């Protein structure tokens, strides 16, 4: 059987020509609708591809964590971003209990996400999630800009879990040729360079006129912060 430039064979399970033809048709129709990976998992469950499909989001996160390549705080941040994307992409809704880390509510919510098949987390799903997330921002330029930054942050962190260096350290694991974030582009948020809108000259003149004669100590704090760039604690130590 040939599809999308790839060949494959299947045991039709019968010597009867008519029955074999019906079985072949069923397989081909399924292949045409679902692709090679899902077809091999359904009709050749002992194949390598089928085994690959059994890897869940939770399995993968545990394997990445076990490599020891990421600091604990870094891994938890990446994990949270990936779980957020997956939960929203697959409609895994949760109530306020998902924030309960003491009574197990968060663990139950995370378990629902971790049980999702990693192979099903495709770039197409993530792109669809991204578009839906941005659409929720409405028409407000400020809300849209904020949504773009949030989406970029989630993607930037989550895709680090699929870096070549991490994947190369996973023992005995063969992932799909198309990783979850392959081809998923970041949103254009424009320049992130800070542009100050503070009129320093006017601020200095106002401080000199009001603080210097009435509150000399506060005026000194103002000068140290503005001209010396000192922090609150550093100023207090003076």
Q: Whole-prediction pTM value? A: 0.60
More confident residue, 232 or 95: 232
- Are the beta carbons of 150 and 53 closer than 8 angstroms? no
Structure-block tokens of residue 73: 């705080």
Query: Which of helix, strand or coil describes residue 117?
Result: strand
Range among 33-37, 81-85, 198-202, 233-237 with highest mean pLDDT value: 81-85
- Identify the pLDDT of residue 1: 64
Query: pLDDT at residue 61 above 60?
Result: yes
Query: pLDDT at residue 126 above 90?
Result: yes
How far are the Cα atoms of 113, 156, 201, 234 from residue 193, in angstroms, in the given order?
36, 19, 22, 27
- Phi, psi at residue 56, to the nearest 5°? -95, 170
How far is residue 195's CA from residue 180's CA, in Å, rounded to a whole number? 36
Dihedral sign (CA 28, 32, 37, 39): negative
How far is residue 84's CA from residue 61's CA, in Å, rounded to a whole number? 13
> Other CB atoms closer than 10 Å to residue 110's CB: what's the count?
20
How far is residue 43's CA from residue 221's CA, in Å, rounded to a whole number? 74
Tokens 């760039």, residue located: 229
Query: pLDDT at residue 194 above 80?
Result: no
Query: pLDDT at residue 192 above 80?
Result: no
Query: pLDDT at residue 191 above 90?
Result: no
- Identify the pLDDT of residue 150: 95
Tokens 């971003």, residue located: 81
Domain boundaries of the chain, sorted by first residue: 2-53, 57-167, 200-236
pLDDT tens digits for 62-115? 999 999 999 999 999 999 999 999 999 999 877 666 666 777 777 888 899 999
Report the pLDDT averaged over residues 11-22: 83
H or E element at residue 163:
none
Query: pLDDT at residue 44 above 90?
Result: no
Q: Vertex 11, ends 6 and 12: CA angle to 5°?
A: 110
More confident residue, 16 or 9: 16
How far is residue 98's CA from residue 120's CA, in Å, rounded to a whole number? 23
Structure-block tokens of residue 4: 């999308």
Dihedral sign (CA 138, 141, 143, 148): positive
Report the pLDDT averaged over residues 32-58: 67
């Amino acid at each position: 059987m040939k599809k999308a430039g790839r060949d494959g064979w299947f045991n039709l399970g019968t010597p009867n020509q008519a029955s074999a033809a019906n079985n072949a048709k069923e397989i081909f129709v399924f292949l045409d609708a679902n692709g090679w990976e899902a077809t091999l998992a359904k009709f050749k469950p002992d194949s390598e591809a089928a085994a690959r499909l059994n890897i869940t989001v939770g399995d993968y996160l545990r394997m990445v964590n076990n490599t020891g390549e990421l600091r604990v705080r870094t891994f938890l941040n990446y994990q949270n971003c990936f779980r957020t994307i997956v939960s929203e992409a697959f409609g895994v809704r949760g109530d306020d209990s998902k924030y309960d880390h003491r009574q197990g509510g968060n663990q139950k919510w995370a378990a629902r996400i971790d049980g999702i098949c990693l192979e099903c987390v495709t770039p197409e799903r993530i792109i669809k999630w991204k578009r839906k997330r941005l659409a929720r921002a409405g028409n407000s330029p400020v809300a849209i800009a904020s949504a773009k930054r949030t989406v970029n942050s989630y993607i930037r962190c989550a895709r680090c879990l699929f870096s070549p260096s991490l994947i190369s350290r996973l023992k005995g694991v063969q992932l799909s040729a198309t990783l979850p974030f392959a081809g998923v582009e970041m949103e254009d948020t424009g320049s992130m360079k800070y542009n100050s809108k503070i009129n320093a000259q006017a601020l200095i003149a106002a401080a000199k006129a009001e603080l210097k004669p009435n509150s000399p100590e506060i005026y000194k704090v103002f000068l140290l912060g503005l001209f010396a760039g000192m922090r609150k604690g550093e100023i207090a130590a003076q």
